[in-house]
Amino acid sequence: MPQPLLHDLVSTVLAPASALSGADGQIRQTGVQGLFRADRRVLSLARLLVDGREPEAVQYVPAGAGRTRFVSLARWLGDPGADPTVRVTRVRELTPDGMRERLELASTAAGPVTATVTVELACDFAAIEDVKSGRATTPPAPAAAPGADRLAWRSDGLRVTATGPGARASAAGTPTLAWDVALPPRGRAALEWSLAVEDPAAVVVAAAAPLEWGQVRVAADDRRITRLVERSLADLRSLRLAEPAAPGDTFLGAGVPWFLTLFGRDSIWAARMLLPLGTRLAAGTLRVLARRQGARLDPATGEAPGKIMHELRREAFPLGESGRRLPAAYYGTIDATPLWISLLHDAWRWGLPEPEVAALLPHLEAALGWLAGPADPDGDGFVEYVDTSGHGLANQGWKDSGDAVRFHHGGQAEPPIALAEVQGYAHRAALDAAALLDAFGRPGADRWRAHAAALNERFRAAFWVDGEHGPFPALALDRDKRPVDALTSNAGHLLGTGLLTPGESARVAALLAGPGLAEGYGLRTMSARDEGFSPLSYHCGSIWPHDTAIVLAALAREGFAAEAAGLAEGLLAAAESFGYRLPELYGGDARDPAGGPVPYPAACRPQAWSAAAALTVAHAALGLYPDVPGRRVLLRPLTGAPLGALRAEGLRVAGREVAVSVGHDGRAAVTGLPEGLLVHTDE
């Protein structure tokens, strides 16, 4: 069965909980609607009735992290006439252990109004993986009424309790909480009910640490940037998670509803993109993943010594219709380990305190051990993957759907597969590790610089192809070491890794800005000129905001301002269309002046790295690149200020709050830097 659609649902999120409802606020027993907490649906029905009827919805408004306000009308109550006189406002707020709702009836009627307000509730305890598969047919669990105003459900150690002060609770039939309300003329009444969840088996919990960033303020000529950053920061705040044994180490859950848990690659990229807001989130993410770093060879889980994990669940997770099930702790990712190394390096450059960096160096050395060994099973010098378990992911880069790695003429590559961008990540990781090893007086730096140099030569000989696009880096090498010759966004991830010469970077930048990849609302995952292209393919033609942001940031840093600005404009146009909450992905159709991007109907919203993309757009325009250990800061904004004047306050370098501004003339200034850091305008 196909997975349920998400694009028209309203999500309210405060990790590890997420509530998905219709635009009217009603949670109905259909599809993916419900309240989920730590991979379990703990509420499958929450239907508000007034006198046995559903109010008519007129508005919903996001009201900050974990809060949504729904407004509806009870037009059968109050004064006769065309104007409604009884309004029903429903404020949903998630809490660390569940959810609460405040219900307000407000009357402008000339006479008194009486009504019975009822909330119908049900709980089916469905696993998120069953809901995602479309096979969640679990009947509601039986309810008990342990108190006059209370309902309760139990299953396998999970306990859910609903309480409505002043309500009458009934567990018979459809469980309900009910109140009798009497409003005087022009009066109002407020009611409240809450849901509490006890879940001792949860593998993720709410973050206990204070918010990892301060008050961030962005002012811009282009108000779309301001609105996008504001909304994205609220979403990012709602995605903060921790492990039960270390609630002070925060990481970001990947996305709602399917991926609200620890994902190595996603959590790393999100933390890396948020480094301009400070290093505390990066530090928490690094430590969480270091504690779960691979220690043994296990083909069943993909674990290997030094390897960074991919995904953490409370139980095995099925992969659609394939029949495969990922283990609860799964290591099937080829890129999380080099990305972990570079996150540690970049956090150090942004000012992560040296004792915290030093504590993670043994894990760095273990990760290098993986790169030098298990990452290259056939010894050809490239990092590659193959699922030997038979039940894991067939593709293990960020484009991990089964058909993601395709030739120009549409055929699929067979593993083992060496992805282009992963070689770039590995090259950058080797150089980043060498810098850290040198700085902290540990051996091995020369070995890893030599490793990077050899990889550079091998890559140029094996990956570059020449076709109808002209010369470009292939997407991958297949099992026969043939270049997979589709033109994809993966090539953009090579920028800034050191694996391209200046001339090669210019060639890649031109292709990225060309019509095959960049005529939509951002960067297509695959060129429209390739036969595998489809605008609503998950990885072969759609647009992912994080992918676009990573590439535009690299373009900006490498000096390709026009190309970066074009991608940024695409993202901002998409953000406006999606109410400034960028989804996981959307359609890769060409830009339509009369419309907006087509939603990908099963996309997660919010998604951590999509929300973080907002900060990447602003950061790329500002061009602040600190090197705290080197006592210098590079200030290189986008040439000519193509996005207009921009100012950001609340950024952090070495724990100090700084402000950066770019004027209409393209000149940049920074204030608040720690003493001793010198500002440069060139490398």
Q: Report residue 445 as tokens.
A: 């730096």
Phi, psi values for residue 66, rounded to 5° = 75, 15
Cβ within 8 Å of residue 677, ≥6 positions away: 626, 628, 631, 632, 633, 653, 654
SS (H, E, C) 407-465: CCCCCECCCCEEEHHHHHHHHHHHHHHHHHHHHCCCCCHHHHHHHHHHHHHHHHHHHEE
Are both 218 and 275 inside the same structural domain? yes
- pLDDT band at residue 248 using 50, 70 and 90 as cut-offs: very high
Q: Is residue 466 part of a domain?
A: yes
In a domain, 671, yes or no: no
Q: Is residue 256 a contact partner of residue 18, using CB atoms and an 8 Å limit? A: yes
Does the structure show a pLDDT above 70 at 272? yes
CA distance 36 to 59: 23
Asked if residue 601 and residue 480 are part of one domain, the reply reads yes
Which domain, by its residues, includes 556?
205-662
What is the end-to-end Cα distance of the chain in Å, rounded? Answer: 54
Mutual orientation of helices 608-622 and 264-273 as an angle, nearest 10°?
Answer: 30
**Per-residue pLDDT, 322:** 61
Least Cα distance to 672 among 650, 641, 639, 645 occurs for: 650
pLDDT number for residue 409: 96
Is residue 268 a part of any domain in this protein? yes
Least confident of 15-29, 206-220, 229-243, 590-604: 590-604
- Sequential DSSP letters for 90-132: EEEEEETTEEEEEEEEEE--SS-EEEEEEEEEE----BHHHHH
Q: Report, in angstroms and rounded to the nearest whole number, the Rg of the chain calculated over CA atoms.
A: 26
Per-residue pLDDT of 16-37, as tens digits, reads 999 999 999 999 999 999 999 9
Of 53, 163, 64, nearest to 116 by C-alpha is 53
Answer whether residue 3 is part of any domain. no
User: How confident is the model over 127-141, as a mean pLDDT?
Assistant: 85
Residue 20, C-beta contacts closer than 8 angstroms, at least 6 positions apart: 6, 9, 10, 11, 27, 32, 33, 34, 36, 256, 257
Confidence of residue 115 (pLDDT cuts 50, 70, 90): very high
The single residue listed with the structure tokens 């669990």 is 141
DSSP H or E stretch at residue 164: none
Provide the residue type at 301 as one letter: T
Q: Compute the distance between CA of residue 363 and CA of residue 283 in angstroms, rounded to an integer.
A: 13
The owner of tokens 């997660």 is 604
Distance, CA of 28 to CA of 24 (rounded, Å) = 11
Mean pLDDT of the residues in the chain: 96
- At a CB cut-off of 8 Å and minimum separation 6, what does 449 contact? 430, 431, 434
pLDDT band, very low/low/confident/very high, at 218 (cuts 50, 70, 90): very high
Cα–Cα distance, 218 to 34 (Å, whole number): 34
**Is 60 exceeded by the pLDDT of residue 401?**
yes
> Is 679 domain-assigned?
no
- The answer as to whether 650 is a domain residue is yes
Judge if 191 and 234 occupy the same domain. no
What is the predicted pLDDT for the residue at 266?
98
Identify the CATH number of the domain in which residue 47 sits: 2.70.98.10
Check residue 399 and give its pLDDT: 98
**60-71: pLDDT as tens digits:** 999 989 999 999
Six token digits for residue 646? 């921009």
Same domain, 165 and 269: no
For the stretch 454-475, pLDDT in tens is: 999 999 999 999 988 899 999 9
Confirm whether 505 is domain-assigned. yes
DSSP 571: H
Pairing relationship of beta strands 168-170 and 144-147 according to DSSP bridges: unpaired
If asked whether residues 162 and 279 sit together in one domain, one would say: no
What tokens does 62 get? 């996001």
pLDDT of residue 430: 98
pLDDT, average across residues 294-319: 93
Tell me the pLDDT tens digit for each residue of 489-498. 999 999 999 9
Question: How much is the pLDDT for 137?
Answer: 72
Among 159, 182, 198, which residue terminates a domain? 198
Q: What is the CATH number of the domain that holds 556?
A: 1.50.10.10
The pLDDT value given to residue 291: 98
The pLDDT of 308-316, averaged and rounded, is: 94
Q: Report CA torsion sign: 61, 64, 68, 71.
A: negative
Sorted by sequence, the CB contacts under 8 Å of residue 72 that are 6+ apart come out as: 24, 25, 55, 56, 57, 58, 87, 88, 89, 90
Structural domain includes residue 550: yes
Which pair of structure tokens corresponds to residue 402?
Answer: 């089964």
Dist CA 25 CA 12 (whole Å): 10
What confidence tens digit (pLDDT) does each residue in 231-244 have?
999 999 999 999 99
pLDDT at 648: 98
The confidence score (pLDDT) of residue 1 equals 66
Lowest-confidence segment of 137-141, 513-517, 566-570 by average pLDDT: 137-141
Q: How many Cβ atoms are within 10 Å of 210's Cβ, its own excluded?
A: 10
**Burial of residue 77, with CB atoms counted within 10 A of its CB: 0-12 exposed, 13-18 middle, 19 or more buried:** buried
Are 451 and 550 in the same domain?
yes
Specify the amino acid at residue 280.
R
pLDDT of residue 298 exceeding 80? yes
Return d(Cα 151, Cα 432) in angstroms, integer. Answer: 55
Model pTM above 0.75: yes
190 and 242 both lie in a single domain: no
pLDDT band at 254 (very low <50, low <70, confident <90, very high): very high
421 & 480 share domain: yes
Structural tokens at position 577: 């269309």
Give the phi and the psi of residue 194 in degrees, each rounded to 5.
Answer: -140, 160
Domain shared by 318 and 185, yes or no: no
Predicted confidence at residue 404, as pLDDT, reads 98
* Distance (Å, whole) CA 285 – CA 608: 13
Last residue of a domain, which of 198, 218, 236?
A: 198
pLDDT tens-digit readout, 441-457: 999 999 999 999 999 99
d(CA 351, CA 135): 48
Mean pLDDT across the stretch 601-614? 97
Pairing of β 40-43 and β 45-50: unpaired
**Are 239 and 185 within one domain?**
no
pLDDT at 136: 66
Model confidence at 2: pLDDT above 90: no
Q: Compute the distance between CA of residue 463 and CA of residue 467 in angstroms, rounded to an integer.
A: 13
171, 198, 225 — which closes off a domain? 198
Structure tokens at 595: 């419309």
Average pLDDT of 159-175? 97
Label each residue of 165-228 as H, E or C: CCCEEECCCCCEEEEEEEECCCCEEEEEEEEEEECCCCCCEECCCCCCCCCCEEEECCHHHHHH
Q: Which strand (E) or helix (H) includes residue 142?
A: none
Residue 447 half-sphere exposure, CB side, CA atoms within 13 Å?
Answer: 9
Q: Are residues 186 and 263 in the same domain?
A: no
- pLDDT score, position 3: 82
Number of structural domains in the chain:
2
Confidence band, pLDDT 50/70/90 cuts, at residue 595: confident
Same domain (yes/no): 209, 176:
no
Q: Coil, strand or helix: which one is 317? A: strand
- Say how far residue 70 (Cα) sits from the centre of its chain: 25
Q: What would the pLDDT profile of 314-344 be if each residue is shown by its tens digit?
A: 988 877 656 678 999 999 999 999 999 999 9
On whether the CB atoms of residues 301 and 281 are closer than 8 A, the answer is: no
Mapped onto helix, strand or coil, the DSSP state of residue 340 is helix
Instruction: Note the pLDDT tens digit of each residue in 50-93.
Output: 999 999 999 999 998 999 999 999 999 999 999 999 999 999 99
3-state DSSP assignment of residue 584: coil
Cα–Cα distance, 581 to 578 (Å, whole number): 6
Q: Are 187 and 115 in contact (CB under 8 A)?
A: no
